Structure 1
Amino acid sequence: MAKDKGWAWMITLAAFISMALETGTIKSLGVMLPSLRQQFSTQTWVIGLSIALAPGFGAVTCPFAGALSKRLTPRHTVMIFSLLAVIGLIMASLATSVQLLMVALLLTGFSLGAEAVILGEQAIYFDKYYNVSISISQAGLSIGVMIMPPMTQLLQDIYGWRGTMLLLAGLNLHLIVCGALLKPFQTDSLEFEDNEPFQTSSKNLTPKKSAVTNLVHYLDLTLFANADFVSMLVYNLGSGYCFTGWLIYLVPHAMELGFQPYESSFLATIGGIGNLLASILYPILKMCTPDKASLYLTTLMSTFALGLDPLVSSYHSYVGLAFLSGMFVLARAMAILSVYKMVKNVVEDDKLTNAMLWINVTYSIGAICSGFFSGWTFDVTGNFTLSFLLLSGISLLALCPQFIVDMRGVWKVRKYSSVLNEKQ
């Protein structure tokens, strides 16, 4: 089966829907944060941590998703993980305490593993048009961020937060359909076999391997010997911290400044517009800018947008906050698209699914840290000024490992050139 054709675009559609639902659901939970805080009579950081536990627990489940994909198929893995995420949202709607809410939101983290498996399959299915494909799927994040926060605010006013949770569970049932769209990509056959797992029959003839060897194989732990891949993991750790901090606390931040709930939730919609622009502009940017150059440029842009937030907030400028939201999400989306492309360039096809899963692991670790520290900073200082300044600093700090790797490469090239010159 040739790449970039046929069913590959159905995988792109599945990635589009999964990104819209996964990110939109987290953002919707952020919109419900004030209601949840009032319902359970607790502090901001407690609810923020509960929400961040969703992608945080996703970090724990991602390696299992990769192993299960190799043991079964990506299709079955996505469908199982999606069902567990839906069950988590249903349980959250019935929660009577913060502890029960935390447990329920833990289960919703399974959606992150499902999304990562789909993204891994997308990378396998594409070659020439991969830039276009990931741009289309990234547009799904835009739809989720643009539509779901205002919709959640409206549903809360009509049905309350419990009814809204149930409706979110219904929307997330579409993730199961996304899993059903996955078919194994086979390079040695012209047809797909729906029920045929990825492993060929010859694999059954190989001798049994030790537990450690199986662990390395199913989790692709050899990826951690790749310096370029590890630097991307660290970058995604910072990206998860910054984006989740923005995702959860932007609406409460705007409401704390005195803006109305609908005005505040619309700021997230503007961020979604920025993400949509990134999806449109990224293929164009790739025609004239290398992956690493675009990563540096867009990271500086997102750092600048987060760093200016305290200044704009001091003037209570809604227009300024809207501009910074759009700028931050646009830059962040382009940076993540560059990371996906760089991962595909340095990782073999048979390891791409687990590579995307490990990328999501580090993202989730950053997300759960942000849910706690950004909310705790607000509780200590009484405003979000320091929180957004920390987001800005971490955004820039996360780029340092990639810079070190690049400088090391430049030094090796110069050293090799000098040796050649001496020999000549």
Structure 2
Amino acid sequence: MSYMSTVLALNEFFPENFIFVNSFSLYGYTAGSIILPIITERSLEAYGYSGAFVILGALNLNLVACGATLRKAPRENTTSITNEGGNETGMTERQNRTDNGMISPNQYSAFLDGGTDDQPSEDEGDKTRLIKTKMWNNRNQDKLPETESTGIRRLFQSCKQSFGICNESIYLISSPLHFLLYYLSFAWMLFLVPHAEQLGIPPSKAVFLSTIGGIGGIIGRTLLIVIIHKELQVYTFYIATGVVCTASFLLDFIGSSYGVRAVLAFVQGYSFFIEDCIPGNLYKDAIFNDANFGASVALGSFMGGLGATVSGTFSGYLYDVTQSFTKVFIITGCFHACAVFNLAFVAILIKRRNDRTTLT
């Protein structure tokens, strides 16, 4: 619940730079993965499980303070635009949009006419939204018979707005990806240290594998933020990272020494803390109508919650059957390959839609 609220707030404050800001905000998550394993291990040694849980609970109380900092985004200040005749027109960004987050008819006409001297030109992002919104409206109007009464038409449109996420076919196709990403990352975090201990590494050393993975995550996230800021091919980077991560799981059998486990933990941490930014991209890129942003966050979080729940149960079941964490990690690599395939397919669909939008 705190995650969804934070994401929605970030989108309100930074609608145009959400992907960058969301990725940057996840640094805190990465830092926690470095510090908390050490705190937990030392707390267990000093106070046992009960004391360790009390300390973790006290740390979690910080969520109350974090929640108290969330605010609604203030309305934009009215800006005066002076045309050639000297008339000033007060306009705000919120006035230029309809209540459901779509572009107003006035902006349509300005865009379709190619702009005028007395109106600022739209940037590329605004143009894309204009075209997407026009296509969305035309598509919905085509589905409504002309013989429908006004009341039925309004009811139909109300239902479409209430369940608009059902019309987001690309995002629905990406739903398994949300499930798999959370499943894979939580399974890795849960069993990374027990896997090392089963291979004969002392617990006091094994716990630092989580820290090594977190350090890899800091490096990976920093590189990702640079790529997003430079507006490079982020999905290509995601897919390449996923291939590397899949290989690291499939090669889990290559050695049991601490050095080998540290390298694998670093690569996997580097990859997972890049991949956990994928949902933030899909909230924006896979959604056709901006009004469905909140529903996309809710659905993605729900699928992620299912994945996190299943990760411990199913991975634990696999270990009970195989009695080998190595086999569990190799099977996890196969699941990760499925996630990479899903991501590649969704990226192709997004690119094709954007190309059609540009042509339109």
- Give the TM-score taking structure 2 as reference length: 0.70
1:289 equivalent to 2:232? Answer: yes
- On the 8 A contact 2:178/2:303 being kept in 1, the answer is yes
State which of 8, 23, 33 in structure 2 corresponds to 1:135: 23
Q: Secondary structure at the match of 2:226?
A: helix
Q: Quote how far apart the aligned CAs of 1:373 are.
A: 1.7
Q: Deviations over 1:231-260 (max 9, x none)?
A: 332111111111111011111111111111
Q: Distance in 2 between matches of 1:117 and 1:415?
A: 33
Q: Distance in 2 between matches of 1:151 and 1:215?
A: 50
- Closer, same or farther: CA 179–213 of 1 in aligned 2, 3 Å: farther
Letter in 2 for 1:322: A
What does residue 331 of structure 1 align with? 271
1:301 equivalent to 2:244? Answer: yes
1:260 equivalent to 2:148? Answer: no
Letter in 1 for 2:266: G
Q: How many residues align?
A: 283
Q: Distance in 2 between matches of 1:159 and 1:213?
A: 59
What does residue 153 of structure 1 align with? 41
Letter in 2 for 1:232: S
State which of 96, 104, 118 in structure 1 corresponds to 2:6: 118
- Closer, same or farther: CA 316–408 of 1 in aligned 2, 3 Å: closer
Higher-helix-fraction structure? 1
- Closer, same or farther: CA 374–262 of 1 in aligned 2, 3 Å: same
- Closer, same or farther: CA 250–215 of 1 in aligned 2, 3 Å: farther
Q: Distance in 1 between matches of 2:52 and 2:351?
A: 53
What does residue 357 of structure 1 align with? 298
- Where has structure 1 moved over 4 Å in runs of 4 or more? 212-217, 405-416
Q: Secondary structure at the match of 2:26?
A: helix
Q: Deviations over 1:331-357 (max 9, x none)?
A: 222223243123223445554333223
- Closer, same or farther: CA 396–144 of 1 in aligned 2, 3 Å: same
What does residue 396 of structure 1 align with? 337
- Closer, same or farther: CA 377–346 of 1 in aligned 2, 3 Å: closer
Q: Quote how far apart the aligned CAs of 1:410 are.
A: 7.2
Task: Tell me whether 352-361 or 376-385 shows the greater mean CA deviation.
Answer: 352-361
What does residue 371 of structure 1 align with? 312
Query: Could you list the runs of 5+ residues in structure 1 that have no partner in the other structure?
Result: 1-112, 191-201, 417-424
Task: Tell me whether 225-234 or 171-180 shows the greater mean CA deviation.
Answer: 225-234
- On the 8 A contact 1:291/1:338 being kept in 2, the answer is no
- Closer, same or farther: CA 349–188 of 1 in aligned 2, 3 Å: farther
Q: Quote how far apart the aligned CAs of 1:129 are.
A: 4.2
- Closer, same or farther: CA 182–390 of 1 in aligned 2, 3 Å: same
Q: Quote how far apart the aligned CAs of 1:409 are.
A: 6.7
Q: Deviations over 1:168-187 (max 9, x none)?
A: 11111110111111111244
Letter in 2 for 1:142: T
Q: Distance in 2 between matches of 1:233 and 1:332?
A: 18
State which of 232, 249, 271 in structure 1 corresponds to 2:191: 249
- Closer, same or farther: CA 309–352 of 1 in aligned 2, 3 Å: same
Q: Quote how far apart the aligned CAs of 1:298 are.
A: 1.7
What pairs up with 1:163-178 in 2 under 5 angstroms?
A: 163-178=51-66
State which of 243, 258, 262 in structure 2 corresponds to 1:318: 258
What pairs up with 1:67-146 in 2 under 5 angstroms?
A: 113-146=1-34
Q: Secondary structure at the match of 1:341?
A: helix
What pairs up with 1:6-21 in 2 under 5 angstroms?
A: none
Q: Deviations over 1:17-69 (max 9, x none)?
A: xxxxxxxxxxxxxxxxxxxxxxxxxxxxxxxxxxxxxxxxxxxxxxxxxxxxx
Q: Distance in 1 between matches of 2:22 and 2:350?
A: 28
Q: Secondary structure at the match of 1:398?
A: helix
Seq. identity, %: 23
- Closer, same or farther: CA 410–337 of 1 in aligned 2, 3 Å: closer
Query: Could you list the runs of 5+ residues in structure 2 that have no partner in the other structure?
Result: 79-98, 101-150
- Closer, same or farther: CA 373–182 of 1 in aligned 2, 3 Å: same
- Closer, same or farther: CA 140–413 of 1 in aligned 2, 3 Å: closer
- On the 8 A contact 2:195/2:326 being kept in 1, the answer is no
Q: Secondary structure at the match of 1:270?
A: helix
- Give the TM-score taking structure 1 as reference length: 0.60
What does residue 325 of structure 2 align with? 384
- On the 8 A contact 2:209/2:265 being kept in 1, the answer is yes
Q: Quote how far apart the aligned CAs of 1:151 are.
A: 0.8
1:341 equivalent to 2:284? Answer: no
Q: Quote how far apart the aligned CAs of 1:189 are.
A: 5.8
Q: Distance in 2 between matches of 1:353 and 1:222?
A: 11
- On the 8 A contact 1:241/1:391 being kept in 2, the answer is no
What does residue 62 of structure 1 align with? none
Q: Distance in 2 between matches of 1:185 and 1:222?
A: 24
- Closer, same or farther: CA 288–323 of 1 in aligned 2, 3 Å: farther
Q: Quote how far apart the aligned CAs of 1:134 are.
A: 2.4
- Closer, same or farther: CA 415–240 of 1 in aligned 2, 3 Å: closer
Q: Distance in 1 between matches of 2:170 and 2:212?
A: 33
Q: Distance in 2 between matches of 1:141 and 1:385?
A: 27
